Every structure is written in structure tokens, then in C-alpha cells.
Amino acid sequence: MQFMLLFSRQGKLRLQKWYVPLSDKERKKISRDLVQTILARKPKMCSFLEWRDLKIVYKRYASLYFCCAVEDQDNELITLEIIHRYVELLDKYFGSVCELDIIFNFEKAYFILDEFLLGGEAQETSKKNVLKAIEQADLLQEVSMLSSIDGFSWLF
């Protein structure tokens, strides 16, 4: 996978994960153009498209579009499953996840993604294991926070 974007129906970016080295300017341009292209597509259309020289796989969940750019040899159908697995993980973590959860807890969305994918490939195929790792890491975070100056100061 080269990158993954999450954006709303108004075109606002909610998450962007890049697995290829591109400058900020290039990333902005790609995001902008691709988001426009996808938003312009009709609901009945295919989840796959060729865009520039990339294969794009996207799916809409409620008000959020999940969009991935994959390599030529990648299996588009399994990419849909990868997207779905990520949504399931978010759902389990936040409990019936909605866009607002991702807006207000964007850093958590990243942490979860980083426990599921690494370098653009799936590192863990068990839902349970991903969630367990996140849980442990969150615990570690709390402990490290508790050991700071004012006890229960919630940084977030």
C-alpha cells in the first residue's frame, strides 16, 4: 500500500497515512486531487479505479470515505477486506464508531492503524491481538502519565 486517506463527504481529511516518501506539498496535491475525483463518483460505481498510475480502492462507511492506493500486484478485493478490518477495529475500540470519534481522537485512530498495518502491509491478522496490543499500550500511557507531576492530569 502506498497511502491511506480518510475523508468526509465535504472533502475534509480525517486521517492520512503515507507509506511512500513524498514532500508535504506533493501530499497535499495528491490528497486534494484524489479526494475530488472520488467525491465525484456516483454511488453505484465500482470501488476500484485507475488514477494517474495508481490503483485506488475506496469504500464509504457512513459519512467517511476510506481510500487506499495500492500497487499493481496487490489484490483489490483483499484490500477491501483490509479496509473493513480497520473499520471493525475502530468500531470495537470506540464502541460503534462514528466520524466524530475519529475527529476528536485522531491520534488513537493512528495508533490503531499502526498496530494493524506496518509499512503498508498487515502485521496482524487477528482482531483480538491488535486490540489487545492497543489496550496494553494505552495502559502504559496512563501509567506514564500518572507518574508525571500532577497525578491525574489528563493530557488529552
Distance from first CA to last CA of the chain, Å, rounded? 31
Is 94 a residue that touches another protein (CB under 8 A)?
no
Question: Nearest approach, Cβ of 127 to another protein (angstroms)?
Answer: 8
Residues 75 and 55: their CA atoms lie apart, in Å, by 10
Is 61 a residue that touches another protein (CB under 8 A)?
no
Binding track over 118-137 against another protein, x by CB under 8 A: xx-xxxxxxxxx---x--xx
Tell me whether residue 62 or residue 135 sits nearer to another protein (CB atom): 135
Question: Nearest approach, Cβ of 20 to another protein (angstroms)?
Answer: 9
Grid cell of 108 as nine digits: 488513537
Counting every residue written for the chain, the total comes to 156
Q: Which residues are paired to 122 by β-bridges? A: 117
Is 8 a residue that touches another protein (CB under 8 A)?
no
Tell me which of 11, 36, 39, 81 binds another protein, using CB under 8 A: 81
Sign of the C-alpha dihedral computed for residues 105, 65, 58 and 3 taken in this order: negative
